[in-house]
Amino acid sequence: MSNPEQVLNKQSKINQDHWLDEVRVFAPATVANMICGFDILGFAVDKPGDEVYMQRVGNPGVRIRSIKGDDGRLPLDPDKNTVSACVMMLLAHLGLETEIGVEIELTKHMPIGSGLGSSSASTVAGLFAINTLLGNPLTKDELMPFCVEGERLACGHGHADNVAPALMGGITLIRGSQPLDIINLPVPDQLVAGIVFPQVDVPTRDARQLIKEKVSLKDAVVQWGNIAGLVSGLYRNDYELISRSMHDVLIEPTRAILIPEFYEMKRIAMDSGVLSFGISGSGPSVVAISKGFEAAQLAVDRIQEHLTANGIESLQFVSAVNAEGPKVLS
């Protein structure tokens, strides 16, 4: 996988004849960790996701025209907004920052701070949109390091566990980070994610700080046995093995503390016949992973019912694993 520095001489591939006037793209939400694979696994979902409309204008520079669905939480200042900052970064790398002008409309179809890779979806949508607008000078592999850098701008740390599945689609493995080595894993054809976002605030930073810096080797062995089992189950399309493997003995016990009703939600989900249940990313969203839609839908319906009875508002999303990543809508 190339670093931003290695994406050289891309100018030569930039042909203004291929530039578009406008583009509308969708980039998917993502479930980082995939329950047992802390910081290395993640998958994209068909919904929710973010939408970016990008229009080329005569006046050079990058501007945010509007943001919808964010309850006024995201900045319109192009230097501070994730989407525009990423677009500017890529344009600077391509030597085009003074040549091109774009205006952006961002529509968030997903909650912010929910553990569903909200900033990654925006980052990927913005970068995918500008690359499409320029006639695709970069491949997805070449775009990836910019997505990681965008995540760093947005969150202060350049983890790829959300941007990798958001950009590549499907289930991704971050084999290594230095250098970045991302592997697309096979997606079992009936794998469905039922997501519930309890509307409580769990900042990623707090969730990260809770995690202990040292873990017992014994627990780590259990964890990597499960990770190896999950990867194997994905290649074999073996839902039983996937189910047996998707247990997190290291991170869940601490992060679950921040999520109200976590263990009751888990009990409800498992009773509904899903393969596994856990935290999406750093939470507070939780995810039930099932074979087929029925169990996932049942699980999230029952979980929402339970949360409502306990005075906690929530959103639900039930979706297949998204195979393609971002896509052009028009």
195: three-class secondary structure by DSSP: strand
Q: Give the residue with the Cβ less far from a copy of itself, 223 or 319.
A: 223
CB of 146 to a copy of itself, least distance (A): 21
Whole-number minimum distance, CB 196 to a copy of itself, in Å?
27
Q: Does 112 carry a binding-site annotation?
A: yes
* Residue 290 is assigned to a ligand binding site: no
| Rounded CA separation 280/20 (Å) | 36
| Contacting positions for a copy of itself (CB under 8 A) | 37-41, 173-177, 181, 183, 185, 211-218, 220-229, 231-232, 235, 241, 244-245, 250
As a dihedral over the C-alpha atoms of residue 224, residue 229, residue 235, residue 236, rounded to 10 degrees, the angle is 170
Query: Is 132 part of the annotated catalytic residue set?
Result: no
231/300 with CB nearer a copy of itself: 231
- Residue 65, classified by CB atoms within 10 Å of its CB into exposed (0-12), middle (13-18) or buried (19+), is middle
Q: Give residue 71's identity as a one-letter amino acid code.
A: D
Contact 67, 108 (CB under 8 A): yes
Residue 97 is classified by DSSP as T
115 labelled binding-site residue: yes
Sort strands 327-328 and 191-198 into parallel, antiparallel or unpaired: unpaired
The least distance separating a copy of itself from the CB of residue 234, rounded to whole angstroms, comes to 9
Marked catalytic residue, from 151, 172, 252, 261? 151
Q: Which of 103, 111, 99, 100 is nearest to 74 (CA)?
A: 111
In the bound state with a copy of itself, the residue whose beta carbon lies nearer, of 120 and 172, is 172
The CB-of-267 to a copy of itself minimum distance in angstroms stands at 21
The reply to whether 114 sits in an annotated binding site is yes
User: 51, 123, 204, 252: which is the annotated catalytic residue?
Assistant: 204
Nearer to a copy of itself, 17 or 218 (CB): 218
Tokens representing 6? 């290695």
119 is in an annotated binding site: yes
When the beta carbons of 106 and 258 are compared against a copy of itself, the nearer one is: 258
98: annotated active-site residue = no
Cα–Cα distance for residue pair 323/189, rounded to 1 Å: 10
Contact 172, 257 (CB under 8 A): no
Rounded Cα distance, 132 and 173, in Å:
25
- Minimum CB separation of residue 109 from a copy of itself in Å reads 31
Tokens 């970064």 found at: 89
DSSP-based three-state secondary structure for 302: helix
Residue type, 235: Y
The answer to whether 113 is a known ligand-binding residue is: yes
Active site residues: 151, 204
Annotated binding site for ATP: 111-121
Binding-site residue numbers are 111-121
